[in-house]
Amino acid sequence: MIELGVNYLYQKYVQTYMDSCKKDNSFVVMLKWDTMEEAHDKIKQKCILIQNVGNLLEKYQFGKTIVSYYRTGKLLLTEVDHIESILSKLFS
């Protein structure tokens, strides 16, 4: 798990992030509970919805990165080159 030390703009929305177990350069991102809806709105504005699984999961395309948004406040980002760059672009 990576603790957020430097002040990045995305820290308003992101609690922590960590490498996932997958081998495709992916990350698990935990959103802050109090700004989760605002973060979801930003994702919907900047990404293209590619799949909606009931009321549990939405998958979006953001460049070459797939953003899986879980209603529990978790994101799974796959095919990530630089996590902090992606988070900054996503939540700016």
Q: Are 57 and 49 in contact (CB under 8 A)?
A: no
Task: Report the mean per-residue pLDDT for the chain.
Answer: 88
pLDDT at 38 over 50: yes
* Residue 52: both structure tokens together: 């909606």
CATH of domain 9-91: 3.30.310.10
For the stretch 14-37, pLDDT in tens is 999 998 877 778 999 999 999 999
> Distance between CA 4 and CA 1 in Å, rounded?
10
**What does each C-alpha distance from 7 to 2, 60, 64 come to in angstroms?**
14, 26, 26
First to last CA, the chain: 23
Residue 1: what pLDDT? 46
**What does each C-alpha distance from 92 to 9, 14, 31 come to in angstroms?**
7, 12, 15
